[in-house]
Amino acid sequence: MQLTNSGLEIVAHGEGTHFSFNIEAGKRIVFVRFKKKLTAADIRRYAERVRTHPEFNPEFSEMVDLTEVKDLELGADDFLKLADEIDCFSAQAWRAFIVSNSVQSHAARMHKILRTPDNMRIFSSLEQARAWIESRPAISG
């Protein structure tokens, strides 16, 4: 697998890789777009790439775009591992999930239940998600 940096967006290329992400350090936001087929391995690879990125901070907010996902291969054990072991964001991080169908919404709700539900919302548009994320209180200090 190879990472290329085209401007601000980090695109992961390789066999079985179905995501790209962008870190807006000035706005303290990580935006990830998952594509076509989504597995626990894809999410693990994404979390590893974000965690090791020099601009990443676990307190940043995250916007997760699931609208292009057609095949979601996550079981109950996967959701537990994602919440307990793989997730690289802090419990204080604001999280917005953008979905376009009930399967995507169910996956977002499962993660919300297993993490910090007060800081997570599910939206049907990128604009709504961004407006909510950008409404978060400023970080002091």
> What is the block-wise mean pLDDT of the chain (141 residues), using blocks of 10 residues?
41 60 93 92 92 94 95 86 87 93 89 80 96 81 40
Which pLDDT belongs to residue 131?
A: 95
Which pLDDT belongs to residue 16?
A: 56
DSSP letter (8 states) at residue 119: G
Which pLDDT belongs to residue 139?
A: 62
Alpha-carbon span 116 to 27, nearest angstrom = 21
Which pLDDT belongs to residue 65?
A: 97
Domains along the chain with CATH numbers = 2-134 (3.30.750.24)
CB-count burial class (<10 Å; 0-12, 13-18, 19+) for 4:
exposed
Which pLDDT belongs to residue 27?
A: 92
Q: CB neighbours of 15 closer than 8 A, spacing ≥ 6?
A: 1
Which pLDDT belongs to residue 50?
A: 94
Which pLDDT belongs to residue 17?
A: 60
**Cβ–Cβ < 8 Å for 60, 29:** yes
